[in-house]
Every structure is written in structure tokens, then in C-alpha cells.
Amino acid sequence: MPAGFQSFAADGTNTIQIDSDSGLPNFQLRQKITQTMAVGAIPVYTVASGQRYLSSGPVTTFSFYAVSPLVVFECSGAHVCPHAWTQSGSNFSVTVVGDASVPVTIYVFDKNDFSVTANRFGLQVFNAAGVLVADAAASFAKPVGFAQGNPKYAYGSTGYTTDSGTWATDQGTNAFSVVERVGVACIQPAWAIGGGSGGATNAGIYLSTFRTSGNSINANMTGFGDNRNVNNYTGFREALSWSYMAVDISYL
């Protein structure tokens, strides 16, 4: 490699590589934001006529600047899920919904594009073009595992179906090897429509949501609005599959 940093173990194996030849980014902490959810409108769907259907529940919207963000979520007081994302250039927003009006924190990790003069101590790594790609003064994102599931079918099941039967609200807890705390990122939520009797302001929606506690993450199926028909599922099996990446946020 013409530029960058490599660290080798005693047996010669490459254990750490920054600015690899494959061009993988180094995600470092740019911002930490905490906000408290409050009951409000949750977008559900829009029909062909243009009519928008909303649900309601605890919700908050975060706004932040980033180049190519990896966003990690932490909430020990409720199950939460990132429900809607927007982007305008380098300005992002994410709307988070949950099952209680409590604080939720996001950690915005980003490709390092900080000024070279911003920090005057520690290790800095540059690529072949002279661009700063890693700075030891900012914390790195440390993935520690993954989890996935489906409340009704085997994970990976596909195809359209119409059936009945219930699913479990609790989708299980996974523990990860961290010193202090773990957060949840790269969430693919399960998503299902509930009943329509709530009308345009209380439409039913079911989402997979996640609660962090110390070194563990619990997955849950949380309903918003009118969900009386949710177990009479009509849709694609893959829409109910959920997954996430666990990230070490100890001491952040």
C-alpha cells in the first residue's frame, strides 16, 4: 500500500489496516445527541389517491451533518426503531419511534474529514492523496456482532402469503462482548400494516423495535395505532424479517 498504516502480529499476520487498498472507510465519532421522545404523528403509508395515513406514538427527529454516516442508537428505557430517514446533501435527519416517552441517544460515526489542524496530538493517518482518513483523537466505531429474526416465519423466508395465527411480542435478547455498553445500528426493521379502523390519524402499524441495556440488545414487536387485525397477516414473508449490527459504545 502506498500510504496508510498497518500493524502486524508477531507471526506476521495483518491485524490492523487503516486506509486499505480496497478503500474501506474509517468510521469515527462525529457527534452524540440525546433527545426525549414525545407522543406525535407517525407516517404509515400513502394510498394512490394521495391520502396519507398516520399513526401516533412516542417519536423524535434527530438532525445532523455528516458525509457518510453510521448511526448507532442507544435507549435503555424503551424499545425504539429508526422509522424514517431524509438527506439533503450532507444534512441528514432520522425519525425514531418507541414504546415510551423517554430519552434516546444517537452516536453519529462518519468518514473522517476533519481538519488536519483540528487535533495536535496522537496518531493521524493519511491516504495517498494526502487526505486525513483516521485520527486517534476521535473514537472509532467497533462492531461486535449481528442478530436477525422473523416473528412469524423462518428468517430468509420469501413470497406472498395470507394466513392467521399470532406472533410473539418479545423477539429475544442477545448479549455481546463489550466492556460497558452496546448500541444498535444498521437496523432492518420488520414492518406490517395493522387494522384500518383507526382512519387517517390512527392507522395500525407494527415495527420491530430494540432496547439496549448494558451489553445486551432486546428485540420486540411493537404496535402503534389500530392493530386489531395484525395477526391476520397478508403480505410478503420477507417484510417481517429484522436484523441489526451491534456496536461497542463503551465510555462514549
Give residue 1's pLDDT.
52
pLDDT < 50: residue spans in the chain: 116
> Same domain for 206 and 84?
no
- Tens digit of each residue's pLDDT (9 = 90 or more) over 217-232: 999 999 888 876 666 7
Same domain, 151 and 231: yes
Specify the number of domains making up the chain: 2
Mean pLDDT for the chain?
A: 85
Per-position b or e across 160-191, b if 16+ CB within 10 A of its CB: eeeeeeebeeebeebebebeebbbbbebebbb
Tabulate helix, strand, coil % of the chain (nearest 5).
5, 55, 45
50 and 107 assigned to the same domain: yes
Q: Could you list the residue range(s) of the whole structural domain that residue 226 is in?
A: 142-248
**Final residue before a domain boundary, out of 135, 154, 172:** 135
* 154 and 128 together in one domain: no
CA dist., res. 106 & res. 85, Å (int): 14
